[in-house]
Chain A
Amino acid sequence: MTPDIVLWLAQDGITNGAIYALLALALLLVFSVTRVIFVPQGEFISYAALSLALLQSGQVPGVVYVLVAGGLVAAALDLARAIRLRDFSALPTALAGYVAFPCAMAALAWWAAPLKLALAWQVLIVMGLVVPLGPIVYRIAFRPLANASVLVLFIAAIAAHYTLQGLGLVFFGGEGLRSAAFSDARFALGVVQASAQSLLVILASIAVMLVLWLFFGRSIYGKALRATAVNRIGARLVGIRAELAGGISFLLAAFIGTLSGILIGPITTIYYDTGFIIGLKGFVGAILGGMASYPLAVAGSIALGLLESYVSFWSSAFKETIVFLVIIPPLVWLSLRSRQVEEEEEE
Chain B
Amino acid sequence: MIPARAALLAFVAFIAAAPLVLGEYQVTLLIYVGLASLVALGLVLLTGIAGVMSFGQQVFAGLAAYTTAVLTTKYGASPWLALMAGLVLVAAIAFFLGAITLRLSGHYLPISTIAWGIAIYFMFGNMELLGKYTGIPDLPPVAIGDFKLATNRSIYYLIWLVALALLVASSNLLDSRTGRAIRALRFRGVMAESFGVDTARLKTVVFLYAALFAALSGWLYAHFLRFVSPNAFNVNAGIEYLFMAVVGGASHVWGAVIGASVLTLLKEWLKDLLPTRFGASGNYEAVVFGILMLLLLHRASTGLGPLLARWFIKPRRREVSLDAQALPRRSPLAGETILVVEKSSKRFGGLVAVRELSFDMRSGEILGLIGPNGAGKSTVFNLVTGVLPCDGGRITCRGERIDGRRPTAIARLGVARTFQHVNLVGNMSVLENIAIGAHLRGRSGSLRAMVRADRAEERQLLSEAARQAERVGLQANLHDAAGSLPLGKQRLVEIARALCADPALLLLDEPAAGLRYAEKQALGELLRRLRGEGLSILLVEHDMDFVMQLVDRLVVMDFGEKLAEGLPRAIQADPRVMEAYLGSVQ
Residues of chain A having any CB pair with chain B under 8 Å: 31, 37, 39, 140-141, 144-145, 148-152, 154-156, 158-167, 169-170, 173, 276-277, 280, 283-284, 287, 291, 317-325, 327-328, 331-332, 334-335, 338, 340-347
Bound Cα distance from A162 to B263, whole angstroms: 14
A-B pairs with beta carbons under 8 A, tally: 158
Q: Are A332 and B100 in contact (CB under 8 A)?
A: yes
Among B102-119, those with CB < 8 Å from A are 103-108, 110-112, 114-116, 118-119
Q: Are A317 and B126 in contact (CB under 8 A)?
A: yes
Shortest CB-to-CB span from B18 to chain A, Å, is 31
Tell me, yes or no, whether B2 is within 8 Å of chain A by CB.
no
Q: Are A331 and B101 in contact (CB under 8 A)?
A: yes
Shortest CB-to-CB span from A68 to chain B, Å, is 16
Q: Are B297 and A155 in contact (CB under 8 A)?
A: yes
Q: Are B119 and A166 in contact (CB under 8 A)?
A: no
**Chain B minimum-CB-distance residue to A148:** B297
**By the criterion of a CB under 8 Å from any partner CB, how many residues of chain B are at the interface?**
58
Q: Are A318 and B123 in contact (CB under 8 A)?
A: yes
Q: Are B120 and A321 in contact (CB under 8 A)?
A: yes
**A152 touching B104 in the complex, CB below 8 Å, given contacts A166-B284, A169-B282:** no
Contact of A145 among B120, B188, B298 (CB under 8 A): B298
Bound Cα distance from A331 to B55, whole angstroms: 17
Q: Are B290 and A151 in contact (CB under 8 A)?
A: no
Contact of A158 among B103, B120, B242, B291 (CB under 8 A): B242
Bound Cα distance from A154 to B388, whole angstroms: 29
Q: Are A287 and B282 in contact (CB under 8 A)?
A: no
Residues of chain B having any CB pair with chain A under 8 Å: 51, 53, 55, 99-101, 103-108, 110-112, 114-116, 118-120, 122-123, 126, 186-190, 199-200, 235-236, 239, 242-243, 246, 278, 280, 282-291, 293-294, 297-298, 301, 388, 406, 426, 483
Bound Cα distance from A338 to B190, whole angstroms: 16
Q: Are B287 and A163 in contact (CB under 8 A)?
A: yes
Q: Are A345 and B51 in contact (CB under 8 A)?
A: yes
Q: Which residues of chain B are near A280, meaning CB under 8 Å?
A: 114-115, 118
Most chain A CB inside 10 Å of its own CB: which residue of B126, B284, B297, B406: B297
Q: Are B294 and A170 in contact (CB under 8 A)?
A: no
Contact of A159 among B108, B280, B297 (CB under 8 A): B297
Bound Cα distance from A274 to B428, whole angstroms: 45
Q: Which residues of chain B are near A291, meaning CB under 8 Å?
A: 108
Contact of A283 among B53, B103, B115, B188 (CB under 8 A): B115
Q: Are A154 and B426 in contact (CB under 8 A)?
A: no
**Chain B minimum-CB-distance residue to A149:** B106
**Chain B minimum-CB-distance residue to A317:** B126
Q: Which residues of chain A are near B104, meaning CB under 8 Å?
A: 331, 334-335, 338
Shortest CB-to-CB span from A29 to chain B, Å, is 15
Contact of B119 among A155, A160, A324 (CB under 8 A): A324
Contact of A331 among B53, B112, B126, B188 (CB under 8 A): B112
Shortest CB-to-CB span from A180 to chain B, Å, is 26
Contact of B294 among A160, A167, A283, A347 (CB under 8 A): A160
Bound Cα distance from A11 to B255, whole angstroms: 51
Q: Which residues of chain A are near B200, meaning CB under 8 Å?
A: 340
Q: Are A162 and B101 in contact (CB under 8 A)?
A: no
Instruction: Summarize B's interface: helix, strand, loop or mixed.
Output: helix
**A331 touching B100 in the complex, CB below 8 Å, given contacts A166-B284, A321-B123, A342-B190:** yes
**Chain B minimum-CB-distance residue to A343:** B105
Q: Are A328 and B106 in contact (CB under 8 A)?
A: no
Q: Are B291 and A163 in contact (CB under 8 A)?
A: yes
Q: Are B100 and A170 in contact (CB under 8 A)?
A: no
Shortest CB-to-CB span from B312 to chain A, Å, is 26
Contact of A325 among B114, B116, B283, B289 (CB under 8 A): B116
Shortest CB-to-CB span from B495 to chain A, Å, is 21
Contact of A327 among B110, B115, B242, B297 (CB under 8 A): B115
Q: Are B189 and A166 in contact (CB under 8 A)?
A: no
Q: Are A345 and B186 in contact (CB under 8 A)?
A: yes
Bound Cα distance from A156 to B111, whole angstroms: 14
Bound Cα distance from A152 to B297, whole angstroms: 8
Most chain B CB inside 10 Å of its own CB: which residue of A159, A291, A320: A159
Bound Cα distance from A165 to B388, whole angstroms: 45
Q: Are A345 and B101 in contact (CB under 8 A)?
A: no
Bound Cα distance from A144 to B120, whole angstroms: 35
Shortest CB-to-CB span from A47 to chain B, Å, is 14
Q: Which residues of chain B are near A166, meaning CB under 8 Å?
A: 282-290
**A345 touching B187 in the complex, CB below 8 Å, given contacts A154-B110, A169-B286, A320-B122:** yes
Between A and B, 28 residue pairs with Cβ closer than 8 Å are A31-B107, A141-B294, A150-B106, A151-B51, A151-B107, A151-B110, A154-B110, A159-B290, A162-B286, A165-B286, A166-B285, A166-B286, A166-B287, A166-B288, A167-B287, A170-B282, A277-B118, A284-B115, A318-B123, A324-B119, A325-B115, A327-B115, A331-B100, A331-B108, A331-B112, A335-B100, A345-B51, A345-B106
Q: Which residues of chain A are near B297, meaning CB under 8 Å?
A: 145, 148, 152, 155-156, 159
Bound Cα distance from A284 to B116, whole angstroms: 11
Bound Cα distance from A319 to B285, whole angstroms: 30
Bound Cα distance from A159 to B200, whole angstroms: 29
Shortest CB-to-CB span from B129 to chain A, Å, is 12
Bound Cα distance from A141 to B292, whole angstroms: 11
**Chain A minimum-CB-distance residue to B291:** A163
Q: Are B293 and A159 in contact (CB under 8 A)?
A: yes
Bound Cα distance from A159 to B99, whole angstroms: 28
Bound Cα distance from A248 to B253, whole angstroms: 40
**Chain A minimum-CB-distance residue to B301:** A152
Q: Are A154 and B123 in contact (CB under 8 A)?
A: no
Q: Which residues of chain B are near A151, meaning CB under 8 Å?
A: 51, 53, 106-107, 110
Lowest 3 CB-CB distances: which A-B pairs, in order? A163-B290, A166-B286, A159-B293
**A170 touching B287 in the complex, CB below 8 Å, given contacts A151-B110, A317-B126:** yes
Bound Cα distance from A167 to B235, whole angstroms: 17
Q: Which residues of chain A are near B246, meaning CB under 8 Å?
A: 155
**Chain B minimum-CB-distance residue to A162:** B290
Most chain A CB inside 10 Å of its own CB: which residue of B186, B278, B426: B186
Q: Which residues of chain B are near A334, meaning CB under 8 Å?
A: 104, 108
**Chain A minimum-CB-distance residue to B388:** A341
Contact of B406 among A321, A335, A340 (CB under 8 A): A340
Q: Which residues of chain B are near A37, meaning CB under 8 Å?
A: 107, 110-111
Bound Cα distance from A331 to B118, whole angstroms: 17
Q: Are B126 and A324 in contact (CB under 8 A)?
A: no
Shortest CB-to-CB span from B183 to chain A, Å, is 12
Bound Cα distance from A340 to B51, whole angstroms: 17
Q: Which residues of chain B are near A277, meaning CB under 8 Å?
A: 118
Q: Which residues of chain B are near A340, meaning CB under 8 Å?
A: 103, 200, 406
Bound Cα distance from A320 to B108, whole angstroms: 20
Q: Which residues of chain A are near B99, meaning CB under 8 Å?
A: 335
Most chain A CB inside 10 Å of its own CB: which residue of B186, B287, B406: B287
Bound Cα distance from A291 to B53, whole angstroms: 18
Q: Which residues of chain A are near B388, meaning CB under 8 Å?
A: 341
**Chain A minimum-CB-distance residue to B236:** A162
